Structure 1
Amino acid sequence: MAEELTSRSHTYLRPSTFWSIRQSFPKSLALLIFSISLGLPLLLWIALSYTRAVPPLFLPTPTAVIQAGITMFVENNLWYDILVSCTRVLGGFAVAGLIGVPMGIAMGTFSSMENLFAPVVGLVRYMPVTAFVPLIVIWAGLGEASKITIITLGVVLYNAIMVADAVKFIPNDMINVAYTLGGNRRDILQRVILPATFPSVLDTLRVNISGAWNFLVIAELVAAQNGLGVRIIQAQRFLQTEKVLFCIAVIGVIGLVLDYGLKWISQKLTPWADQARH
């Protein structure tokens, strides 16, 4: 056994660029992998659609999807639908952040708040949001308030849970040192917990904004006249698969822009956490 440990202590890992763990990665190789990850599905789509291995009703060609998108922009004022959907998503997500982040900080900081909110959060987060739609319509009506409420309910509890977990990962030694230096509970919260969890809060918001977009179609089922979800539902009703795919692609592009935008903001506001984050 001792000989085995001795032999292992003199064994060195072979250097590896591709399989390096939390080390610098060449930008050229990263760009190549990124291109492959996007290029292979696109090539597969082109091959299956243009050869008609899959009928156009199920998989239209990229050309048909682009033409459908141009038609929707020119004839159906798709720009307005994009604006309406973005407003609903950002409105619901903002409300979810204003409620979920303070709730998560309270749950992670105070045992009393965890015992107060944890049973409700643990119970409600397993209930499908669609089950609440009739009640939301009764409570909030058919206007924008009901749509924003649906998006809020879909995200708020996940914000709270993830932020609470981030607070719990703060080492107790940091809190004990602050107490030793004469800090009170307010000082611990303002000068230790909030700064330590701020990078995780930004990451939580960046991750969960995708959930807000996932609930968009459900929200726009409630008497909506405009929006990307409405366009998807209408195109699905008339079997216009190319329009469905284009609207889905638009949502994906918007989500990607928001994700990279929030990531950039996070790196600018919390540069000290960049190494730990990546």
Structure 2
Amino acid sequence: MSAVQPLSVTEPKKQPKATVRRRSLAPLEPVSSRSRWMLGLAFFAVFVAVWAFFTLGGFVSPTFLASPVTMVKEGWLLFTEYGFIKDIGMTIWRVVGGFILAAVIAVPLGIAMGAYKGVEAFFEPFISFCRYLPASAFIPLLILWAGIGEAQKILVIFIGSVFQITLMVAVTVGGARRDLVEAAYTLGAGHKGIVTRVLIPGAAPEIAETLRLVLGWAWTYVIVAELIGSSSGIGHMITDSQSLLNTGQIIFGIIVIGLIGLVSDFAFKALNHHLFAWSFVR
């Protein structure tokens, strides 16, 4: 008998791993913080360059659109001769007052609606209805009820913010993880403990983010409030400039609103990162 020759098993050759080249503009590919700042500043530079080209080049009449140079000169006059810093202070005061008033009422109500379905069933239809009503539509009534003073303007911001915050907070709290709730019940927590030690801490980062977003909307409401029956504020200055066809001051006022809103947004975001640093860890 011939000996059986063992079968030789050849190991498959290992294929070299394909290297994936990542590009900064690839889908969902993050960019560095430095690149983000540079790209953001680049857009503003291009925007101002195009604006200057059409206005300084004579393609657009100064009556309809002032040039960047004219806008800066008019802004300097606003600060040095017309007390524009006071208008800025009044506008900030109105935004902060109306927004804080809305948050103080909306956040607890939203937490109650998210935690207790009976409370949600009672309030949700009315709040959803009011959420679609434009805050500017209440201005005639508010003038009748509160006059043309500060209360009227703060109430416009309050109405424009309170219903949005309430519903967004309710959705956030109501979307809590059920396994955490069941675990808390298993460990002996009561209904109050579930709300105070599970639902609120878990939803706190998103509630803070909701407040940050709605604060941006509040800046749009204050200008609407100041356009009617106001003797101070950025909106009042814009209205006066419109009657004088001074587009330089109008544009400067709009840019100031954007800058203040941007600073407040960054400050709010930094505060959220400080208070809820654990929620931003990925």
TM over 0.5: same fold? yes
How many aligned positions are there?
Answer: 266
Q: 1:117 to 1:22 in 2, by over 3 A?
A: farther
Q: 1:98 to 1:12 in 2, by over 3 A?
A: farther
Q: 1:117 to 1:11 in 2, by over 3 A?
A: farther
CA distance in 2, matches of 1:140, 1:13: 65
- Offset at residue 138 of structure 1 (A): 2.0
Question: Structure 1: which amino acid aligns with 2:188?
Answer: G
The partner residue of 2:132 within 98, 123, 126 is 126
Residue identity (%): 33
Question: Structure 2: which amino acid aligns with 1:92?
Answer: G
The partner residue of 1:160 within 142, 166, 184 is 166
Map 1:65-144 onto structure 2 (within 5 A).
Answer: 65-144=71-150
Map 1:109-258 onto structure 2 (within 5 A).
Answer: 109-258=115-264
CA distance in 2, matches of 1:200, 1:145: 30
- Offset at residue 222 of structure 1 (A): 4.1
- Greater than 4 Å deviation, 4+ residue runs: 10-14
Root-mean-square deviation (Å):
1.8
- Offset at residue 20 of structure 1 (A): 5.9
The partner residue of 2:265 within 250, 259, 265 is 259
Q: 1:218 to 1:22 in 2, by over 3 A?
A: same
Q: 2:71, 2:252 within 8 Å by CA — same for their partners in 1?
A: yes
CA distance in 1, matches of 2:70, 2:265: 28
Q: Which is greater in Rg?
A: 2
Gaps of 5+ in 2: 1-16
Q: 1:147, 1:222 within 8 Å by CA — same for their partners in 2?
A: no
CA distance in 1, matches of 2:275, 2:41: 29
Q: 1:131 to 1:31 in 2, by over 3 A?
A: closer
Give the corresponding residue for 1:7: none
2:12 aligned with 1:17: no
Q: 1:168 to 1:12 in 2, by over 3 A?
A: farther
The partner residue of 2:47 within 36, 41, 46 is 41
CA distance in 2, matches of 1:147, 1:11: 62
Describe the superposition over 1:7-60 as per-residue Cα deviations: whole angstroms up to 9, x where unpaired: xxx99865333336375x323322321222222211111111110211111221
CA distance in 1, matches of 2:145, 2:37: 49
